């Protein structure tokens, strides 16, 4: 349904060096599929989400690549054509719903605005539809929530409003950018269960973004691992957790497993992957993970590893799997 090919995006800040946030990123999302994008802060996850909806900052440039949605390249559409797709066919649950919701408009009217933009409903039908949506995302008393302002709601409730807004027109593809990063563990589980339910009931494909591998367990069908603007490995959830191929994925999964253990022993310090991502204004020519990789070889610093496919449907960019 959606195919991103060789997408390259650079930010050109007024007072600094250009930042290549995405460098030849390719990823497919099939109908009804949940695809996870996993990577550390700054790896380019939100840039990918914004590029997919053509909502990049004005100083960002999409240098090359294609974004096919149902066979049509979104990069070639006019702003009017795009408006018909955004919120209707593809919609976004943003990284911080507290910032994206309008503070001076009731939640019911805000959800209604999305319906008004895309569907021919009268005011009464729109209100009924919003109340249904509020019930669907877990509110037992939708009338009260309908007339509440965002600041009167908790973080978890605001996230449910953002989800109701995003699914209002039953999009084919939902992009969820760190949908639980501001929530505690119990609410995280509830939001993931809600997204799973939406996918089950409506066949919605979901591209879900997180730095936390635990979010994808039992939820994502496939996971693409991003590092410093590139996808370095793709596999099914079971493969990524059970048999990660790339040394970066292996480290992430190791850290996630020991984090899960230390959560039950809170006084133990959470582990982290040693070292830092490369400076995005000065990316090295070789493998970007090389400075942090315990398995690096001479060739790793000489050129970027091409994609190897050591097992069916398991692309990985690492010289351990070929030269």
Ligand X SMILES: Nc1ncnc2c1ncn2[C@@H]1O[C@H](COP(=O)(O)OP(=O)(O)OP(=O)(O)O)[C@@H](O)[C@H]1O
- Contacts with ligand SF4, residue ranges (CB under 6 A): 246-247, 287, 289-290, 293, 295-297, 300, 305, 318-320
Q: Is residue 317 within the footprint of Mg ion (CB under 5 A)?
A: no
Q: Is residue 57 within the footprint of ligand X (CB under 6 A)?
A: yes
Q: Burial level of 242, CB count in 10 A (0-12/13-18/19+)?
A: exposed
Stretch touching Mg ion by CB under 5 A, among 44-52, 194-202, 260-268, 302-310: 44-52
- Going by their DSSP bridges, the two strands 222-227 and 34-38 should be labelled as parallel
Q: Which residues lie across from 297 on neighbouring strands?
A: none
Instruction: Determine the size of the site formed for ligand X (CB under 6 A).
Output: 15
Q: Is residue 51 within the footprint of ligand X (CB under 6 A)?
A: no
69 binds, among ligand X, Mg ion, ligand SF4, none (CB under 5 to 8 A by kind): none
Stretch touching ligand X by CB under 6 A, among 43-51, 61-69, 143-151, 196-204: 43-51
In the list 5, 70, 211, 320, the residue contacting ligand X (rule: CB under 6 A) is: 211
Distance in Å, CB of 302 to ligand X, minimum: 24
280 binds, among Mg ion, ligand SF4, ligand X, none (CB under 5 to 8 A by kind): ligand X
Alpha carbon 214 to chain centroid, angstroms? 14
The answer to whether the CB of 182 falls within 8 A of the CB of 96 is yes
Q: Is residue 13 within the footprint of ligand X (CB under 6 A)?
A: yes
295 contact partners, CB below 8 Å, separation of at least 6: 247, 320
Q: Compare residues 45 and 127 and give the one whose CB is closer to Mg ion.
A: 45
Q: Compare residues 203 and 275 and give the one whose CB is closer to ligand SF4.
A: 275
Q: Compare residues 150 and 213 and give the one whose CB is closer to ligand SF4.
A: 213
Distance in Å, CB of 317 to ligand X, minimum: 18
Q: Residue 276, Cβ neighbours under 10 Å: how many?
A: 10
How far apart, in Å, are the Cα atoms of 192 and each of 136, 137, 195, 219, 220? 14, 11, 5, 7, 10
Residue 79, token pair as written in the block? 């702003």
How far apart, in Å, are the Cα atoms of 17 and each of 23, 288, 310? 16, 19, 37
Report DSSP state, residue 269.
Answer: P
270 contact partners, CB below 8 Å, separation of at least 6: 259, 262
In the list 10, 46, 210, 317, the residue contacting Mg ion (rule: CB under 5 A) is: 46
Q: Which residues bind ligand X (CB under 6 A)?
A: 11, 13, 19, 21, 39, 41-47, 57, 211, 280
Chain residues in the site for Mg ion (CB under 5 A)? 45-46
């Amino acid at each position: 349904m959606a195919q991103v090919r060789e997408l390259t995006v650079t930010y050109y800040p007024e007072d600094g060096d250009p930042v290549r946030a995405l460098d030849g990123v390719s990823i497919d999302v099939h109908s009804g599929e949940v695809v996870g994008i996993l990577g550390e802060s700054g790896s380019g996850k939100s840039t990918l989400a914004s590029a997919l909806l053509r909502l990049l900052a004005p100083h960002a440039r999409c240098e090359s690549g294609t974004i096919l949605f149902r066979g049509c390249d979104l990069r070639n559409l006019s702003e009017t054509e795009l408006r018909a797709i955004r919120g209707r066919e593809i919609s976004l649950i943003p990284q911080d719903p507290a910032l994206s919701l309008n503070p001076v408009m009731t939640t019911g009217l805000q959800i209604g605005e999305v319906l008004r933009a895309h569907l021919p409903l009268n005011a009464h039908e729109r209100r009924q539809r919003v109340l249904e949506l509020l019930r669907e995302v877990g509110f037992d008393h939708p009338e009260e929530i309908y007339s509440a302002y965002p600041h009167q709601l908790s973080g978890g409730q605001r996230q449910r409003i953002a989800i109701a807004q995003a699914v209002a027109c039953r999009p084919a593809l939902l992009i969820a950018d760190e949908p639980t990063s501001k929530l505690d563990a119990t609410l995280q589980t509830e939001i993931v269960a809600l997204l799973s339910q939406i996918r089950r009931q409506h066949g919605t494909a979901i591209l879900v973004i997180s730095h936390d591998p635990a979010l994808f367990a039992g939820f994502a069908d496939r996971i693409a691992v991003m590092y410093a603007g590139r996808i370095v490995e793709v596999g099914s959830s079971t493969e990524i957790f059970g048999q990660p191929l790339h040394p970066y994925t292996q480290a992430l999964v190791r850290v996630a497993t020991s984090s899960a253990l230390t959560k039950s022993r809170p006084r133990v310090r959470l582990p982290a992957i040693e070292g830092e991502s490369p400076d995005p204004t000065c990316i090295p020519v070789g493998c970007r993970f090389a400075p942090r990789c315990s398995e690096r070889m001479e060739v790793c610093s000489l050129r970027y590893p091409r994609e190897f496919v050591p097992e069916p449907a398991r692309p990985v960019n690492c010289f351990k799997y070929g030269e």
